[in-house]
Structure 1
Amino acid sequence: MSESSTNESDPGLRSRLVDAGVALLAAEGAQALGLREIARRAGVSHGAPRRYFPTHLELLSAIARRGFEELGDRVRDTLDSAADDPRERTEALARTYLRFALENPGMYELMFRHDVLESGHLGLRDTSLPLFGVLVELVGRVRPEADARQVGGALWANLHGLAQLWRWGSLQLATGDADFEPLLRACLTAHLGRGSGR
C-alpha cells in the first residue's frame, strides 16, 4: 500500500486537512484555500479531502470553525480576568476582538464570509451567535434602557469596520493615529455613552 493511500485511510486525516488549511490560511490568506493545495500540504492526493468534506465549502467551514473556537477561547480568557464592571468588560471584549482580527486577517476574513456562514455546515451559527450573545448581554448591562441587540449589533458592525479599515491602513492615513486605542474608545463612547470618569 502506498504512503498516500495509507495516509488517506488515516482516521486523523480530517483533522490534518483542517490543520493544513489553517496553516495555509495564516501563511497565504483566504484566496489560497484551494482543495488541491490543502491536500498537498496534508500529504494526500487531491481527491482525499472529498472523503471527509464532500464540498469545498464544508472544508472552509471546518477551518472557519477553528477560528470561532479560538476567538471564543480568547473571549472567555479575557472575561475571566476582567473586572466586574460591565463597561470595562465590554471594552476588554472589544479589544480582544480587534486584536484577534488584526493578528489573524486571513482567518477573520474567512470566518465572516457570507457563503461560509450561510452554508449551515458544522453549526457555525451555533459557534458564532453565542459570541454575539455575550456582547449583547454586556451591552444590556451597560445600557439597560436600550435595545441591547440593536446596540450590540451596531457596536459589532463598528468594531468589524474598524478592524478592516485598520488592517488596510485606511484609518491610520485618515486619522493619523498609530494605535487603534483612541478609535476603540470613540467607538465604545458612541454606542455605550460616556462611562464614569471618562
Structure 2
Amino acid sequence: MNEPETGLRARLVEAGVDLVTREGVGALSLREIARRAGVSHGAPRRYFPTHLELLSAIARRGFAELADRVTAATGEGAAPRAELETLVRVYLDFALDNPGMYELMFRHDLLESGHLGLRDTSLPLFGRLVDLVGRVRPEADARLVAGALWANLHGIAQLWRWGSMQLATGADDFVPLLRSALDAHLGRGDGR
C-alpha cells in the first residue's frame, strides 16, 4: 500500500475514533466517517470493503489504548492482588470515560467477524486477567473466575453509566463496588 493510501486509511480510522468518542456508536455510518475524513462517501469502501471492517479498525484502536493504559498503570513486582485491583480500576475508568468506544469494542458482531484480528486484539487483556486471578486463587479455575469477574465489571460499567448503580446503592464512587466484586470473586483481600 503506498503512502497516500495508508494515510487515507488512517484518516478514516481517526475520523471514526473521533466520531465514536464525541457522538457514540450510533453515529458511525460510512457516509459520516467519510465526510469527517474529507473524502467522498464511496472512499471508505476502497480501504474497508465492509462497514464491519472499518468498525473493527476503529475498535482495534480502543483496545490498543486500553492496553496502553493498563500497561502504564500496572508494573512488575506488584503483588498479584494489587495488580489486579489496578487493572480493574483502569478498565472501569476507560469504560466510563469512553462509553462509545467501549460499546464498540465489545460488539459481538465485530469480535466474531474476525476482521483485522480484533478478537486476537481483545484476548491478551483477558489473558492477563486470567493469569492474575490464577496467581491470587491457584486452587480455582482461573478462566471461569476471570470470566465471572469480567462480566461483573461490564455490569458495573453499564449500570454506573446509566446511573442505576448510584440509585440502587447510594454510592457516589465506584471503587467500593470494584472492591466488593474482587472480594466476591477472589476472597477478601484485606485479611478480614
Q: How many residues align?
A: 189
Instruction: Specify the alignment match of 2:114 in structure 1.
Output: 120
1:70 aligns with 2:77: no
Instruction: Specify the alignment match of 1:168 in structure 2.
Output: 162
| Pairing partner for 1:52 from 30, 47, 54 | 47
Deviation of 1:118 (Å): 0.6
Query: Residues of 2 paired with 1:169 and 1:89: CA distance?
Result: 28
Contact 1:83 1:89 in 2 (8 A): no
Larger Rg: 1
Counterpart of 2:96, as a letter, is L
1:145 aligns with 2:139: yes
Instruction: Specify the alignment match of 1:106 in structure 2.
Output: 100
Inter-CA distance 165–66: structure 2 relative to 1 (3 Å threshold): same
Equivalent residues in 2 for 1:1-198 (5 A)?
10-80=5-75, 84-198=78-192
* 4+ residue segments displaced more than 4 Å: none
Query: Residues of 1 paired with 2:111 and 2:9: CA distance?
Result: 20
Counterpart of 1:15, as a letter, is A
Normalising by structure 1, what TM-score? 0.93
Inter-CA distance 10–125: structure 2 relative to 1 (3 Å threshold): closer
Counterpart of 2:117, as a letter, is G
Query: Residues of 2 paired with 1:148 and 1:157: CA distance?
Result: 14
Counterpart of 1:67, as a letter, is G
After superposition, the CA RMSD in angstroms is 1.1
Contact 1:68 1:111 in 2 (8 A): yes
Normalising by structure 2, what TM-score? 0.96
Query: Residues of 2 paired with 1:102 and 1:96: CA distance?
Result: 10
Query: Residues of 2 paired with 1:111 and 1:10: CA distance?
Result: 25
What SS does the aligned partner of 2:96 have?
helix
How high is the sequence identity, in percent, across the aligned residues?
Answer: 76
Counterpart of 1:26, as a letter, is T
Query: Residues of 2 paired with 1:12 and 1:153: CA distance?
Result: 38
